Amino acid sequence: MNALIVKLWQIFLLLSFVFFLTTVSAQKNDTVFFLNGDRISGEIKDFQYGYLTYKTYGVSTVSIKYDKIATFFSNKDFEIIFKDGRRRFGSFATSHLDQFVNIVTTNDTLLTPLVEVVEITPIKKRFWKRLSGNVDLGYSYTKASTLSHLNFSSNLKYQQKNYFTRLQLNSNITDQKNQDRADKNDATLTIYRRLKKSWFGLGTFSSERNSELGLDLRLQGGLGVGNEIVHTNSNNLLAALGVMVNKEWSSDTTEARVNVDGFVGVAYRLFRFKDPEIDITSNVTAYPSFTVKNRWRINFDIKVKIEIINDMYFSLSFYDNYDSKPASDAASNNDFGATTSLGYSF
């Protein structure tokens, strides 16, 4: 009996050891080779703005500039975006040429210079691993005026092959004694479908409230098409257009009205991957109405994020919302504001 227990225990230890080796081997299947001859093993997190974000085992997460890399290897699945807007899905094999990498697709192996690659995104198999984004929170209070202001924003992205989904949340609430609360809240869910080269299709649904513009609630959904006009290692510019249908309730009536609008949007992002990291994003969207004569809605926002420590940042935001014919006749045509907050990226 004792001999049987010892035998079973030896088998268990052997299987555990094999499992451990298999796990370690599976974890350390990404390798970066440097131009100076060094190499490190770990996990490729992403590549953008000319820097490879790399999680090393036993050290930390580091950012490696592309001009220090000879080549790298990974057998995981990635979405690779090139300067000219082309996209490929595949893994990476090492190259015998410095500053080149072999992109292994289903049907081919492409020898590619690193300078031609502008973005690499892992295609994760687990739901939570596909999520990325950031969260911002800010608060201020003045005793003399009893004025308090709370602002919150979040941007979540869920990555899939050929698709990605983005959820954006924004809230600005201002309270003051003996004054009505002023609030601006919106939530937008957008699904993007990759098309040929730099083109994409999109479907979007959003909910909005803005007390300054007399808007109690607006629900809208629509379809559109867009193009990434510029996508380099330092900046990104895209434009989109489409049609929206919305239903809105004003703050001074219980009746709702249905509108059909067009939309034209432009988004720009500028990134400086130095110390400190600076990330500037700006969006402007115009909504010409097809059902209300001479009505235009224009939304503009810009955010500057400055890194404090790894994944933590300070942000300064400004927004301006304009409606030539707001839902309430007594409301203002324009609402704007600036906020500061602390944020975290993941």
Among residues 88, 123, 158, the one where a domain terminates is: 123
Strands in 57-198 per DSSP E? 61-65, 69-82, 87-93, 100-104, 109-113, 117-122, 131-142, 147-159, 163-176, 182-194
- Predicted pLDDT of residue 310: 74
193 in the same domain as 155: yes
76 in the same domain as 149: no
| Position 27 pLDDT exceeds 50 | no
Query: Could you tell me the CATH number of the domain that includes residue 148?
Result: 2.40.230.20
Answer yes or no: are the C-beta atoms of 182 and 174 closer than 8 Å: yes
Model pTM score: 0.75
Query: Using alpha carbons only, what angle is made at residue 195 by residues 236 and 289, rounded to the nearest 5 degrees?
Result: 75
- Give the Å distances, CA to CA, from 5 to 14, 16, 19, 30: 14, 16, 21, 40
111 in the same domain as 142: no
Among residues 73, 91, 123, the one where a domain terminates is: 123
- Predicted pLDDT of residue 190: 96
Q: Quick one: tokens of 242?
A: 């489409």
Percent of the chain with pLDDT over 70: 89
Cα–Cα distance, 64 to 69 (Å, whole number): 8
163 in the same domain as 14: no
290 in the same domain as 177: yes
Q: Quick one: tokens of 151?
A: 């602002």
- Residue 122, preceding bond cis, omega within 30 degrees? no
Instruction: Please name every residue paired with 260 in a beta bridge, in sequence order, or none if there are none.
Output: 245
- Predicted pLDDT of residue 16: 47
- Predicted pLDDT of residue 125: 67
Handedness of CA 63, 66, 67, 73 (dihedral sign): positive
Alpha helices of 171-295 — where are they, by DSSP H?
Answer: none
Stretch 188-198: mean pLDDT: 91
- How many domains does one find in the chain? 2
Query: Could you tell me the CATH number of the domain that includes residue 68?
Result: 2.30.30.100
| Position 326 pLDDT exceeds 50 | yes
165 in the same domain as 296: yes
Stretch 253-257: mean pLDDT: 83
202 in the same domain as 174: yes
CB neighbour burial string for 126-137, b if at least 16 within 10 angstroms, e if fewer? eeeebebebbbe
Answer yes or no: are the C-beta atoms of 44 and 72 closer than 8 Å: yes
- Give the Å distances, CA to CA, from 39 to 23, 187, 204: 21, 44, 44
| Position 22 pLDDT exceeds 50 | no
Reference 209, options 242, 177, 181; nearest CA is 181
| Position 13 pLDDT exceeds 70 | no
105 in the same domain as 64: yes
| Position 70 pLDDT exceeds 80 | yes
133 in the same domain as 60: no
209 in the same domain as 304: yes
Least confident of 11-20, 201-210, 262-271, 330-339: 11-20
How long, in residues, is the chain? 346
How, if at all, do strands 69-82 and 117-122 pair? antiparallel
Burial class (CB in 10 A: 0-12, 13-18, 19+), 87: middle
How, if at all, do strands 235-250 and 215-231 pair? antiparallel
Among residues 123, 138, 169, the one where a domain terminates is: 123
Long-range contacts of residues 219-224, Cβ cutoff 8 Å, at least 24 apart = 219/246, 219/247, 219/248, 220/244, 220/245, 220/246, 220/247, 220/261, 221/245, 221/246, 222/263, 224/263
Answer yes or no: are the C-beta atoms of 183 and 170 closer than 8 Å: no
249 in the same domain as 116: no
Contacts of 245 (CB under 8 A, 6+ apart): 220, 221, 222, 258, 259, 260, 261
Residue range of the domain that includes 203: 129-345
Burial class (CB in 10 A: 0-12, 13-18, 19+), 178: exposed
pLDDT band with cut points at 50, 70 and 90 for residue 127: low
149 in the same domain as 108: no
